[in-house]
Chains A and B, each alone.
Chain A
């Protein structure tokens, strides 16, 4: 089920909300938690019921390993720690094994076939929804249990932690310690209208970002990336910037909706998005974009690899490897690997620049960072290297400068593309830089009548647009 679907907004969310708090009001706390787990599983299975057993098995296995790790972390004996290490390794192998099979098996076989020059029949595995997210969430839980930072001996609580629908499909990637104490707090078992109000406001803003902005840019990005054989200078820049703003408002909108939905249940999720296009360096960007993924990669990949502790060369190698694997996490294609490698290389370049000790003017730093992000999104979005090069050729092909061509106009269904696309891109930039992000909106917010009514009207326009438009998915649902 999608956050931006009518069945979610008009049926699933209200029913789940009212039944949960009704059960809590009747002091049926376990039933309330069970209801949330059940609702979250329905939310998950709505997409394809076939993969429901997969997530259930994954939960059972990780719970068994995690609770054993937590017990061993408690006794602290050296012999126990050795056994725990093997148990942790087994748990990580289990999660990576599932992820590897479902996400990377066909990619591996395809490449093996190319290397051996003997095509291998792909397994034709359909990627189960959310596997990348629930695998990482559970790996983090196992490590936290091993380190004694998470203790969970209740299967229902654990199932709720993994499946809680606001974060299940596309993050944020949460730690057990961030979420579960909130479910246990007595004050959170009752309806809190301040949270309901903030949650609905946030959800409405997220819905508008997705439906009104991201889906509009999506049409132009698709026209340029997927339908055009050739792009002139203006078309190519319009295409790449359209995607840059599409993915921003898509993911930012999703994050707002996830945080808003969780707030209805008095749960505050970790900040995952902090105005990333305001970044003035690539390092700054990764502290603002998909923050919980960056945190996961830092804590569970970069630091275990040695992090910054083992010499300059090793730091650069670790950075590159972390970003290449981070790219691959997004999808099993060489384009994601290339995108990750470009970001890794940029991180290395940033470190080298820092060593020079020269300070770049903030505006120039922002301009460089934004354009680098814009250029690398091309590799993230393009289906093939040829498609990416088509856009890059257009962006650098000054000989083909001109207005948006007739074909582009027809594809994008525009009346006056020069004005519409130009204004939209400027508007997108202004919103990305100037609009307060969700965590800033929530911090100490004291919404009034105008704010509530404005968010309501925003939701109304989004709902009507949603009803009139075709099906659209969140980009991060594909990962």
Chain B
């Protein structure tokens, strides 16, 4: 009786753990994101979904410095940063990444290895304090950055990667492409993006682009609000929430790692973007100014922090250098890296007020109605014909 029961116990345990053990062994060998080891029997690749892929890069790539931005820094060259700043940079920027998402990656990275320098973009997401982007739900990848290796296999337990495993596919959708980590997700070379640089005429030619239609909608909304006086009502709590958001997801990390040098860059959006805030959304403008002040003060106290801003410069007025009101051309990406290396465009407690005064003056002087009218002339005739 005891012997038979013992055998049945063994059968049950083998049936319970056998399939999982077989699946995990196969997934371990396939490992499309290099979460467990460097690729076996195939070249080094980088998956386009950097929220997933960064985990593998952090574990197995040789680097000591990182560019951790959003699409704003996806064109920034890690090679150029290495040449100008020293160290060995990789670009782990994640499209539409908010501070919370990047905080997960940053904490994991700093806990795993010493990091010399971090270049980080201060995108305007502090205005809404978003924690996770719906298009990439947090539960599909946040466990990769909790330093618990036992749950990492969850990244592969879905239809997509199990399908890839079934075919042992080396398709880019499964394992990524063979690209170096200079700027793996750079979009500047993609024809649809590159064709929109050059001025308003280029934006007009791209009247079917969702981004251009979004730009036009935002400009129209802003000019309408200015005309009717229906400005965004200020929300006193927004400033506090924005600063708490930056503190929780970024500056607390900076304070915890004094040996790592952080370069925080307020993205040089086109002047139209800042003008929308200052002229039609005073609440957002005030919050933005409060965050700039907070970080400038902090930069004066923390030796491992530098903050850069470009709102007092001329180039944001030049639409030709933007593919929409947010994203700038590769020369500006390079200018940012050079500015970091040369210590230019730094904002500190000493210069923050004149900097903000000049930024505000330029934003208020910008003719939003002109740009809106010119876009209306070329986009309105195509209304309803877009994708």
Contacts and interface: CB of A to CB of B under 8 A. Distances in A.
10 contacts: A6-B151, A194-B2, A196-B5, A201-B12, A453-B11, A457-B19, A459-B15, A460-B18, A467-B154, A470-B139
The 8 A-B residue pairs with the shortest CB-CB distance, nearest first, are: A456-B15, A468-B157, A193-B5, A459-B16, A456-B12, A452-B8, A456-B16, A452-B12
B384 to A, nearest CB: 23
A204 interface: yes
B6 A457 contact: no
Interface string A449-466: 100110111011001100
A204 B16 CA distance: 9
Contact of B8 (A6, A197, A204, A470): A197
Contact of B157 (A197, A201, A453, A467): A467
B31 to A, nearest CB: 16
A452 B23 contact: no
- Which applies to chain B's interface (DSSP): helix, strand, loop or mixed? helix
Contacts of A448: 8
B157 A447 contact: no
Contact of A197 (B12, B15, B17, B23): B12
A143 interface: no
B15 A453 contact: yes
Interface in B156-191: 157-158
B13 interface: yes
Contacts of A468: 154, 157-158
Nearest to B159: A468
Nearest to B3: A193
B16 A460 contact: yes
A449 B9 CA distance: 10
A200 B17 contact: no
Contacts of B23: 464
A207 to B, nearest CB: 9
B156 to A, nearest CB: 9
Nearest to B140: A470
B13 A197 contact: no
Nearest to B2: A193
Interface in A428-479: 447-449, 452-453, 455-457, 459-460, 463-464, 467-468, 470
Contacts of B13: 200, 456
Interface in B5-43: 5-6, 8-9, 11-20, 23
B7 to A, nearest CB: 8
A196 B9 CA distance: 7
A467 B9 CA distance: 23
Interface residues of A, number: 25
Nearest to B14: A456
Nearest to B157: A468
Contacts of A456: 11-16, 18
Given A197-B9, A464-B20, A457 B157 contact: no
B377 interface: no
Interface in B41-66: none
B150 interface: yes
Nearest to A194: B5
Nearest to B150: A6
B20 A460 contact: yes
B15 A452 contact: yes
Given A194-B2, A460-B20, 8 more contacts: A204-B12, A449-B11, A452-B12, A453-B15, A455-B12, A464-B20, A467-B153, A470-B139
Interface in B127-142: 139
A211 to B, nearest CB: 13
Contact of B9 (A7, A200, A463): A200
B18 to A, nearest CB: 7
A17 to B, nearest CB: 11
Of the candidates B15, B153, B154, B157, the one having the most CB atoms from chain A within 10 angstroms of its own CB is B15
Nearest to A471: B139
Given A452-B11, A460-B18, A470-B139, A197 B5 contact: yes
B1 interface: yes
A193 B12 CA distance: 12
Contacts of A194: 1-2, 5
Contacts of A197: 5, 8-9, 12
Contacts of A192: 2
Of the candidates B6, B16, B18, the one having the most CB atoms from chain A within 10 angstroms of its own CB is B16
A12 to B, nearest CB: 13
Nearest to B8: A452
Contacts of A196: 5, 9
Nearest to B158: A468
B94 to A, nearest CB: 21
Given A193-B5, A194-B2, A468-B154, A460 B12 contact: no
A467 B19 contact: no
Contacts of B150: 6-7
Contacts of A463: 16-17, 20
B339 to A, nearest CB: 43
